[in-house]
Amino acid sequence: MNRRRLLPFDTKEARITLRILRSSKITTAGLVIVVGFVATAIITWLTNDALLPYNPYAFSSHLLYPPSLAHLFGTDNLGRDVFSRIIAGAPYDAEVPFAVLAIAISLGLVSGTIAGYIGGRVEEVIMRVTDVFLAFPGLVLALAIADSLGPGINSSILALSPVWWPTYTRLSRGETLSIKSQQYMEASRASGQGARYIILHHVVPNIIPVLLVYATIDFGNVILTFSVLSFLGVGAQVPAPEWGLSTVQQEQYLTSAPWAPILPAIAIVVVAVGFALVGDGLRDALDPKIRSLYG
């Protein structure tokens, strides 16, 4: 007997997932934030900022204008429209987390599954390597790598990936060990199915939902950490409208023009909270006990 896969591949499973997510007002609010953020990032990237009310990079004489009908979020110290810069910064703050988590999940899924299924010395080596990375504080490790690679978006992705992949390795290993002990796995091995077939068809499909839930929650954490890198000068560079960089550029105007540094910071927090809410909702939506109530 095959274990039920929790990942909603078919239409029925997708409808059940959406019903569970929509049953919670908090999760629905998170979905609105996430969908709005992703859509904004994609549209802004595809149109190359053409739909923005102002050029996010253009200087003007309207220095530190407060929010108004002309400038919804006011202007910064160089006369740039804050609203336009926040929208233009969405692709930056979407690209890095998606890339980092894609790398972390891929490496973690492969290494963790191999460690959990094969065991022995292979497992020992893989887990000791992950322990080495986990021994360093994440931000310190990212700063060290980013500093050695030089500032920039690509350097930030390479610097943040080693911070997250060990966690997904441990998650994959733990799930693999749990799945490995199931009766249907013993039946698969007894029927002559090879290790590669079992891992790809029985283990991986049941691990992916767990990793996706954690990745959704981690998305906000990656944005926050990337923003800190930009804040410290090793992430996005001027004149990129990345939210963390925009915050640090305007921090000296916190009392005289608070909208300039605070609004980009609020954007970071709102998106991080939105992804965390969706992650919590997905965790409930993929729980077999809860799904049975909606099936």
The predicted pLDDT at position 295 comes to: 61
Q: Compute the average pLDDT of residues 151-174.
A: 92
Residue at 140 is within a domain: yes
pLDDT of amino acid 231: 81
pLDDT for 196: 80
Could you tell me if residue 6 is inside a domain? Answer: no
Q: What is the pTM of this model?
A: 0.85
Residue 42: closest CA among 81, 98, 83: 98
Give the confidence band of 15 by pLDDT, cuts at 50, 70, 90: confident
Whole-number pLDDT of residue 84? 96
In sequence order, the 6+-apart residues with CB closer than 8 A to the CB of 88 are 44, 49, 52, 56, 241
Q: Indicate the range of 85-99, 196-210, 251-265 predicted with least confidence.
A: 196-210
Which residue has 């022995």 as its token pair?
120
Q: Is residue 269 part of a domain?
A: yes
Give the phi and the psi of residue 49 in degrees, each rounded to 5: 70, 10
Helix (H, G, I), strand (E, B) or coil at 21: helix
Contacts of 273 (CB under 8 A, 6+ apart): 30, 33, 220
The reported pLDDT for the residue numbered 264 is 94
124-139 pLDDT tens trace: 999 999 999 888 888 8
Cβ burial, residue 29 (10 Å; 0-12/13-18/19+): middle
Report if residue 104 sits inside a domain. Answer: yes
The distance from CA 219 to its chain's CA centroid, rounded to whole angstroms, is: 2
- The number of domains in the chain is 1
Tens of pLDDT, residue by residue over 41-52, are 999 999 999 999
The mean of the pLDDT values for the chain is 88
The predicted model gives 45-73 an average pLDDT of 94
Domain for residue 70, yes or no? yes
Write out the residue range of the structural domain in which residue 67 sits: 11-54+63-294
- Considering the domain boundaries, does residue 159 fall inside one? yes
Q: What is the pLDDT of residue 191?
A: 75
